[in-house]
Amino acid sequence: MSYVDEVYELVVEKNPAQPEFHQAVKEVLESLRVVIEANEEEYRKEALLERLTTPERVILFRVPWVDDKGQVQVNNGFRVQFNSAIGPYKGGLRFHPSVNLGIIKFLGFEQIFKNSLTSLPIGGGKGGSDFDPKGKSDREVMAFCQSFMTELYRHIGSDTDVPAGDIGVGGREIGYMYGQYKRIKDVYEGVLTGKGLTYGGSLARTEATGYGLLYLTREMLKSNGIDIAGKTIAISGAGNVAIYAAQKAIQMGAKVVTCSDSTGWIYDPEGIDVDLLKEVKEVKRARLTEYAAARKSAEYHEKKNGEHGVWTVKCDIALPCATQNELDLEDAKALVANGVTAVCEGANMPTTLDATKYLQDNKILFVCGKASNAGGVATSALEMSQNSERLSWTFEEVDKKLEQIMINIFHNIDDAAKKYGKEGDYVTGANIAGFLKVAEAMKAQGIV
């Protein structure tokens, strides 16, 4: 059996009941086959793939907190420190009831390659909790965040591990966690990114993932002879990534006609009103029914089982920006039937493996999240740089650097795909380009 297949079987056997982790590993290993098989004995002897797919450290902890009724609640806390070959562990924290170890491991594994692609010195990690911030009071969210950090603080630091936001973790949660870290450690350091602007945050970090997605998408389309201006875009999600993806798409002259949340989706043929969406989601923390109520042109659809939501709408470009496995084979078929040209992932692993294959087989331009959503973590690394030099750069400086990073990522993955005989296969290009730097650093550092 080939080394790649052996390692995949081992990962499934050693990590039972973690389907998302298996899926992320499978996608990467399939892409790496051409690299590994050219030098199989060397990689096997060094157990490089076993080391790459085994986290350096996994931290599991109890998070007790008291709700507004005086009832004690207990959640699970996680931090997976996956790979520090090229820099301190870096990656977000996700607070969502679906969070479990397998999900955090898939996210941490993806983060290794994504962070490598940014060309900045950051390793891969991810964390979070099954805590659900929805419907909780600010005091309850603060109580939870303080308890979470009361354990996490001992495992992180500005040169060790630097968490940030992800689903369910935005400026409010980062603020509460930062306050508790500083109180316990008595150190004012850039231990988290996505901080508020008054206490060490970077301009443009809030916008970075969505803006970065559009910078890369525009460059990818341009290199295929397509202009993004005038195109119709379907976006899923209505959170941090979706909102700023929509904003930048509109600035580029495209029309965004959909968004969605966990309970329903919007079709707005006149184009999504981003200011209204921000008011509903960022300020009121309300459902999309409120968006529909305030806007005549918008249709609201309740999410029903088996219904395919935003992907049934006719569009040129699809940008999944909500969560993993939200775009399946049926969705891919609907998109292709409706004449989609490109799919670029804003979320982490939103497209199932069979849907990805269907899109690629049908010659749809497809970019995986570890390349196309890398703008968020790249800007987090720029926040770390600003914290280290105790300076703040202007919005334009950060945005310009972000844009250049995304352009470079596209050309890097495009070149890697061509070099390995897979022209236009940006998934293979991204995985190979991300892997090579990490593998070289791991080899140079010996058996650790």
Cite the active site residues.
126
Cα dihedral: 319, 133, 305, 347 (round 10): 20
- Residue 323's binding partner out of ligand NDP, ligand 2IT, none, with CB under 5 to 8 Å set by partner kind: ligand NDP
- Alpha carbon separation from 205 to 20, 111, 239, 265, 373 (Å, rounded): 27, 17, 14, 26, 13
| Residue from 108, 123, 200, 237 in contact with ligand NDP (CB under 6 A) | 237
Q: Which of residues 338-367 bind ligand NDP (CB under 6 A)?
A: 346-348
Q: Is the CB of residue 21 less than 8 Å from the CB of residue 107? A: no
Q: Does 255 bind ligand 2IT (CB under 6 A)?
A: no
| Residue from 20, 166, 207, 219 in contact with ligand 2IT (CB under 6 A) | 166
Return the axis-axis angle of helices 205-223 and 395-419, rounded to nearest 10°: 40
How many beta carbons lie within 10 A of that of residue 363, not counting itself? 10
Whichever of 92 and 210 has its CB closer to ligand 2IT, that residue is 92
- Residue 193's binding partner out of ligand 2IT, ligand NDP, none, with CB under 5 to 8 Å set by partner kind: ligand 2IT
Q: How far apart are CA 309 and CA 313, in angstroms?
A: 8
Q: How many binding residues for ligand 2IT (CB under 6 A)? A: 11
Residue 83's H or E segment, with its range, is: strand 72-83
Q: Does 193 bind ligand 2IT (CB under 6 A)?
A: yes
Whichever of 143 and 169 has its CB closer to ligand 2IT, that residue is 169
Q: How far apart are CA 324 and CA 356, in angstroms?
A: 13
Q: Does 212 bind ligand NDP (CB under 6 A)?
A: no
How many beta carbons lie within 10 A of that of residue 157, not counting itself? 16
Tell me the residue nearest to ligand 2IT as measured from the CB. Answer: 92
Q: How far apart are CA 325 and CA 400, in angstroms?
A: 32
Whichever of 167 and 359 has its CB closer to ligand NDP, that residue is 167
Q: Does 161 bind ligand 2IT (CB under 6 A)?
A: no
Q: Does 322 bind ligand NDP (CB under 6 A)?
A: yes
* 4-26 as b/e: b if 16+ CB within 10 A: beebbeebeeebeebebbbbbbe
Residues found near ligand NDP in the complex (CB under 6 A): 96, 98, 165-168, 209, 237-242, 261-263, 321-323, 346-348, 373, 376
Residues found near ligand 2IT in the complex (CB under 6 A): 90-92, 114, 164, 166, 193, 348, 376-377, 380
